[in-house]
Amino acid sequence: MKLNIREIASLIEGKISGNEFLEISNVAKIEDAKSGDLTFLYLSSYEKFFPTTKASAIIVKTGFEKSRNDLTYIETDAPEKAFFAIVRKYFTPQFPLSGIDPTAFVDSTAQLGNNVAIGKNVVVSSGCIIGDNTKVFHNTTLADNVTIGADCLIHANVSVREDCKLGNNVIIHSGTVIGSDGFGYSPNEKGEYIKIPQIGNVIVEDDVEIGSNVSIDRAAIGSTVIKRGCKIDNLVQVAHNVVIGEHTVISAQTGVSGSTKVGDHCILAGQAGLVGHIELGNNVVITAQSGVSKSILKPGYYSGSPAMEMRSHQRMQAQVRFIPDYAERIKELENKVKSLTELLSKK
């Protein structure tokens, strides 16, 4: 692929300084770029690579000091956003798949839209509905009455259980299970755990992306809901009857326990854990490895276990390293108090 630098600058509304006839063949990180590559610079920590980068062109922030004459510059207010706009338009990976592979099983009652592609060994069970331009890759199983919208990508080895519904423009990566049974048991009089039937489903709304090896449990009754625009990283567990709000981001190894509700535009960072039957309001950020034990409705950043406002947690953590010193000082003070008490008792 050859892209003219003027075409690139026009897309991102950038200003060119240098060779306006330059052609770009690839994009790369600033430290890895080669001749013919386009790169970008927006963090000061990466400026150390600027003197030695072999890129032919670089996207920089408006006003950047252009000290190298062998580079072509594109100036813009947000270099990182501009760079990824170029990647999205010209370098997004394609996933070629067309038609229905002869090894696939498609039940006679399933309804397939226009240009649906079904890969090797895929199972499409009875009552399924698949929208236009959706691709279902090899070894995926769609159980009875699954509905999938238009323009979806369902990658290899995914399982979507019965009655679950996916909206439009949904991406699900390999190894993920949508609609596994919720973890519901009730002890009897002997202390034996009896399974509670999980008869609900999972609803995934439009524009959601779900990473690999994610488990989203079906509701016991009703629906587990992943709302529009959510992005879920790999190895996340979402339990039964959870509701995740619009445009919320969940990082890897996070777990959300049953019947918890997470608001819109939240961030759950890596290895965060939420207990069941609580609520997070909108615009709540839970930092990495934090444990949320009660509802948090106020927008802001929260850290620690149990999670608290981040500034309070940081103040506490700043004192933790002094605990051994505090213990020694307390011991000294106790000895002094004891000595004074003995002295006063003799008087």
Residue 126, domain CATH? 2.160.10.10
Please indicate, yes or no, whether residues 37 and 184 belong to a single structural domain of this protein.
no
Contact 247, 230 (CB under 8 A): yes
257 falls within a domain: yes
> Phi and psi at residue 193, in whole multiples of 5°?
-85, 120
- At 172, list the tokens: 């699900």
Tokens 């016991």 belong to residue: 220
Please indicate, yes or no, whether residues 46 and 14 belong to a single structural domain of this protein.
yes
Provide the 10 A C-beta neighbour count for residue 342: 9
What whole-number distance in Å separates Cα of residue 136 and Cα of residue 53?
40
Burial readout 248-265 (b: 16 or more C-beta within 10 A, e: otherwise): bbbbbbbbbbbbbbbbbe
171 falls within a domain: yes
* Tens of each residue's pLDDT in the chain, 347 residues: 799 999 999 999 999 999 999 999 999 999 999 999 999 999 999 999 999 999 999 999 999 999 999 999 999 999 999 999 999 999 988 889 999 999 999 999 999 999 999 999 999 999 999 999 999 999 999 999 999 999 999 999 999 999 999 999 999 999 999 999 999 999 999 999 999 999 999 999 999 999 999 999 999 999 999 999 999 999 999 999 999 999 999 999 999 999 999 999 999 999 999 999 999 999 999 999 999 999 999 999 999 999 999 998 888 888 888 889 889 999 999 998 988 888 888 76
Q: Residue 347: its pLDDT value, please?
A: 67
Residue 28 lies in domain: 3-90
Q: Residue 99: its pLDDT value, please?
A: 96
317 falls within a domain: no
Please indicate, yes or no, whether residues 43 and 182 belong to a single structural domain of this protein.
no
What whole-number distance in Å separates Cα of residue 156 and Cα of residue 95?
12
Q: Residue 342: its pLDDT value, please?
A: 83
CATH classification at residue 23: 3.40.1390.10
Task: Return the half-sphere exposure (C-beta side, CA atoms, 13 A cut-off) of residue 149.
Answer: 15
338 falls within a domain: no
Burial readout 55-65 (b: 16 or more C-beta within 10 A, e: otherwise): bbbbbbeeebe
User: Which of left, alpha, beta for 289 (phi over 0: left; psi -120 to 50: alpha)?
Assistant: left
Contact 140, 154 (CB under 8 A): yes
345 falls within a domain: no
Please indicate, yes or no, whether residues 50 and 192 belong to a single structural domain of this protein.
no
Residues 6+ apart with CB under 8 A from 121: 101, 103, 104, 138, 139
66 falls within a domain: yes
The DSSP 8-state label assigned to residue 182 in this structure reads P
Domains held by the chain: number = 2
For 97-152, the DSSP string reads: --SB-TT-EE-TT-EE-TT-EE-TT-EE-TT-EE-TT-EE-TT-EE-TT-EE-SS-
229 falls within a domain: yes
Is-catalytic flag, 240?
Answer: yes
Please indicate, yes or no, whether residues 157 and 184 belong to a single structural domain of this protein.
yes
Please indicate, yes or no, whether residues 61 and 154 belong to a single structural domain of this protein.
no
What whole-number distance in Å separates Cα of residue 12 and Cα of residue 75?
10
User: Catalytic: which of 240, 265, 277, 313?
Assistant: 240
Rg (the chain; Cα; Å)? 28
- The two counts, helices (H) then strands (E), for the chain are 4, 39
Please indicate, yes or no, whether residues 179 and 216 belong to a single structural domain of this protein.
yes
